[in-house]
Amino acid sequence: MELSHRITHINGGGSDGWDVFYRARRMVADGVDVAELTIGEHDIRTHPDILDAMHAAAKSGHTGYAMVPGTAALRETVAARIEARTGVPTTAANIMITPGGQSALYAAHIAVCDPGDTAVFIDPYYATYPGTIRGAGAIPKSIVTSPDTAFQPTADALMAATKGATSLMVNTPNNPTGVVYSTDTLEAIADTCQDNDLWLISDEVYDTQIWEGAHISPRSLPHMAERTLVVGSMSKSHAMTGSRIGWVCAPGYVVQQLINLATHTTYGVAGFVQDAADFALNQGDAVEEEVAAPFRRRRALTLAALAGQNVVRAVPAQGAMYVMLDIRATGMSGDEFANALLDQELIAVMPGESFGHAAAGHVRVAMTIADDRYVDALKRLISFASAKASQ
C-alpha cells in the first residue's frame, strides 16, 4: 500500500540530522557513560508546585474535554503576559492554546500557506522547520546565513529570498546558535514582511533565556501585529517539555480559523495541564529566572573555558540553552567532529550540519548537564579539537 507523498516526504528524503543523538542514546542504553550535550532538555524537572497544581486540577475533575481554544483563564493569562512584555494590546481572543510549540508552528503554517506556497525560514534552523513546512503542504525555502554576521540574516538576503513567498519564519533567541537578533535585523525583517506582503511566524519559545540585552518580539514593531503569528511554549520557560503546552498569538480572525483547525486535529489540550500552566505563569518572573539560571551560569563557564585558545571559538550569542562552536580550525566537518568526539571522548554534541548548510564546520553544545560534568566535557572537547588542529 502506498502512503501519501506528504507524509513520506516530511524529511525531504534525507536524514533527519539526529544520527549522533540516537547513537549516543544507544550507547547510554548499553551502559556507556556519555556526556550528552545534544537536545534542548533541562537537567531539572518540572517544579513540584506546578505538578501539585496539575494533580489538584485533575483531582477536582478537570479531566474531561477542555475548551478547544484553551481555557478562558489560561488564554487571558497568556495574553496579559504578552501584553506586559511587549506593550502590544493583546486579549484572550488573540490566543489559542496548543499542545506545545511544535504543533503551534505547524498550525501557523497551515493557517497562512496554501499547498505549493513558498514558506521561508533562516538557516541554521531548528531541525523540524523544513518538515513542518512540508507537512503543511508548503515549499520550504531557506536563507543561508553566514558565521560572519553571527548567523543573522541581512536585509538584502531577506528581501531577495522572500519575493513571491507567503511566509517568513524567524526564531530569536535562536536555536541552534543562541543568537538574539539585533534591532537592525528585526527592523529588516519587519520591512521585508511589509514590502513583500508576508506573514511572519515568530518562534519565541526561548524568550525567557536572555543572557545579554533584551528579547524584542517582532510583533511589537510598527504594523507587525496584524501580520504576525507568535509561537510560544512553556517547554523551555518552565521545564514543562513533556506536558506539551504552548500557544499561538495572532490577530483574532486568524485565531478563529486556528480553532477550527484544532477542532479537527488536536481537539485541545488536557485541562489539568492548562490549569498547571496557568498556575505556573501566575508565579511570576522569578520562577522563569530560576529555570533559566543554570544556562546563564553555564554560558559564563563556557566563555571562561574557551578563553586563552583559538582553535574552538564560540559564536557570539546572547540567549538560549545552546552554544554554537566553530571548529573549522580542525579541518573537520561538524559531522566528522561530532562522530569522532563521541567515539573517542564519549561526548555527544550536535553537528552544525544537522541544522542546515550555514553551520557547517560548527557543533552545537546544549548546556544541559551538571556544571562540573559540563566544564569537564567542554575542556575535553577543546583538547580534542586542539589535537586534531595540530595533526
* Listed ranges 11-19, 44-52, 65-73, 98-106: which one lies at the site for ligand PMP (CB under 6 A): 98-106
Which of 21, 24, 37, 40 is in the footprint of ligand PMP by CB under 6 A?
40
Q: Residues 6 or more apart from 25 whose CB is under 8 A from it?
A: 36
**DSSP letters along 316-367, please?**
---BSSEEEEE-GGGT--HHHHHHHHHHHH-EEEEEGGGG-STTTTEEEEE-
Residue in 231, 222, 229 with CA at minimum distance from that of residue 251: 229
Rule CB under 6 A: say whether 36 interacts with ligand PMP. Answer: no
The footprint of ligand PMP on residues 347-386 (CB under 6 A) is none
Task: Say whether 307 sits in a helix, a strand or coil.
Answer: coil
Which of 86, 90, 94, 171 is in the footprint of ligand PMP by CB under 6 A?
171
Strand order in the sheet with 95-98: 95-98, 246-249, 228-233, 199-203, 167-171, 118-123, 139-144
Q: What values do phi and psi take at 230, rounded to 5?
A: -90, 135
Choose between 235 and 368: whose C-beta lies nearer to ligand PMP. Answer: 235
Choose between 70 and 101: whose C-beta lies nearer to ligand PMP. Answer: 101
Choose between 305 and 363: whose C-beta lies nearer to ligand PMP. Answer: 363
Choose between 266 and 386: whose C-beta lies nearer to ligand PMP. Answer: 266
Rule CB under 6 A: say whether 333 interacts with ligand PMP. Answer: no
Question: What is the nearest approach in angstroms of ligand PMP to the Cβ of residue 323?
Answer: 14
The footprint of ligand PMP on residues 223-262 (CB under 6 A) is 233, 235, 241, 246
Measure the CA–CA gap between 243 and 234, rounded to whole angstroms. Answer: 9
Q: Residues 6 or more apart from 380 whose CB is under 8 A from it?
A: 345, 347
Rule CB under 6 A: say whether 271 interacts with ligand PMP. Answer: no
Task: Say whether 249 sits in a helix, a strand or coil.
Answer: strand
DSSP 8-class letter at 248: E
Question: What is the nearest approach in angstroms of ligand PMP to the Cβ of residue 195?
Answer: 26
Which of 70, 100, 124, 356 is in the footprint of ligand PMP by CB under 6 A?
100
Measure the CA–CA gap between 277 and 156, rounded to whole angstroms. Answer: 40
Q: Residues 6 or more apart from 366 whose CB is under 8 A from it?
A: 37, 38, 39, 40, 41, 321, 322, 349, 350
The footprint of ligand PMP on residues 284-303 (CB under 6 A) is none
Which of 47, 70, 77, 101 is in the footprint of ligand PMP by CB under 6 A?
101
* Listed ranges 23-31, 78-86, 94-102, 186-194: which one lies at the site for ligand PMP (CB under 6 A): 94-102
Question: What is the nearest approach in angstroms of ligand PMP to the Cβ of residue 181?
Answer: 13
**DSSP letters along 9-55, please?**
TTTTTS--S-HHHHHHHHHHHTT---EEE-S---SS---HHHHHHHH
Nine cell digits for residue 134 = 512540508
Q: Residues 6 or more apart from 183 whose CB is under 8 A from it?
A: 216
The footprint of ligand PMP on residues 112-131 (CB under 6 A) is 126
Rule CB under 6 A: say whether 209 interacts with ligand PMP. Answer: no
Size of the site for ligand PMP (CB under 6 A): 13
Question: What is the nearest approach in angstroms of ligand PMP to the Cβ of residue 368?
Answer: 11
* Listed ranges 15-23, 96-104, 146-154, 248-256: which one lies at the site for ligand PMP (CB under 6 A): 96-104
Report the interface residues with ligand PMP, using CB under 6 A. Answer: 40, 100-102, 126, 171, 175, 203, 205, 233, 235, 241, 246
